[in-house]
Amino acid sequence: MALPSVMVLPMLIVMAAGLYYIYNQVMSFMSKTLVRNKVVVITDAVSGVGAECAQLFHRGGARLILCGTCWDKLESLYDSLTTDTDPGETFAPKLVIVDFSDMASMEDVVAEVTDCYGCVDVLILNSSMKLKAPVQSISLEEDRNIMDINYFGPSTLAKGVLPSMISRRSGHIILINSIQGRLAVPFRSSYAASKHAAQAFFDCLRAEVQEYGLVVSTISHTFINACAEQPPPAHMKEPGHRASLLREFIAGQLSHGVRPSVLANEIMQTVNRKRKEVVLAHPIPRVALVLRSLLPPCPLLCPRCWSQGLRLG
């Protein structure tokens, strides 16, 4: 007996949802198997994004090298990772103090990182420093500090692990950058400059090491929203309020940043699928990226015009 036409669309939606669920489950399982036994270095591992990454890769069986500026916070993260996991299925992370603001220590840092396991399979460069101020109020010392943390530090660590990756013809370097490495907005001059420099460096590096089988990825995201998600009030779940709930959801997508868990999952997918360039942002910055590349002189694309009320990084 033929199905009524009104039933076709709901059934297709249910089937698509089922296939999507199965796909996500398969990808989740593959994520764990693909990183097993891989040596993964995460800088600024004690940050929200770094800790979420550490949880994902640790559960997947990776050999983690967690880097940060505070030993106490690294030990706390170590305890949280090893408390609820099976020692037979996971590896105890190794901890390394890394402070990109102290460039004189980078030679020792590179040696310590590479000595942990003798090689590095995945390097996740997550460290970042933000600065919002008028150009004339930023000192040269502040400019140098933000360039050390956002550009010189990550590029120096990448250079340090590069020779062993090239000799093994295997390795993946991931830069967690900002959308401001592609778009510049007012009062972010030093920050945007450092992010543009890092973006250009790793774009060049990608082209140079491709012949050795290495992968270089950049993930450009909007600002990190570390606030916990709040469930909607009970009355908002009533049928009469569904329209306003939808409006709030859409507005949230346009104004809220990227949650650490979402970015961490994107990093895991980038490792597994070897993506080269990822933009994790709501539609407005994406449209601005396209329009600025096609119509750079257009006055409507002035950063001040579309940055008002938005937080990009």
The length of the chain in residues reads: 313
What is the rounded CA–CA span in Å between residue 98 and residue 71? 10
Q: How many C-beta atoms surround the C-beta of residue 307 within 10 A?
A: 20
Q: Distance from CA of residue 131 to its chain's centroid? A: 19
Instruction: Give the active site residue among 20, 78, 191, 212.
Output: 191
Give the pairing type, strands 277-280 and 215-221.
parallel
Alpha helices in the chain (DSSP H): 5-34, 48-59, 71-83, 106-117, 140-147, 153-168, 189-209, 242-255, 260-273, 283-294, 303-307
DSSP output for 185-225:
-TT-HHHHHHHHHHHHHHHHHHHHHGGGT-EEEEEEE--B-
Q: Which residues contact 92 (CB under 8 A, 6 or more apart)?
A: 78, 82
Phi and psi of 48, rounded to 5°? Answer: -60, -50
Catalytic site includes residue 23: no
What is the rounded CA–CA span in Å between residue 194 and residue 207? 20
Is there a contact between 5 and 30 (Cβ–Cβ < 8 Å)? no
What is the rounded CA–CA span in Å between residue 146 and residue 196? 12
Is there a contact between 255 and 46 (Cβ–Cβ < 8 Å)? no
Residue 63 pairs in a beta bridge with: 39
- Catalytic residue set: 191
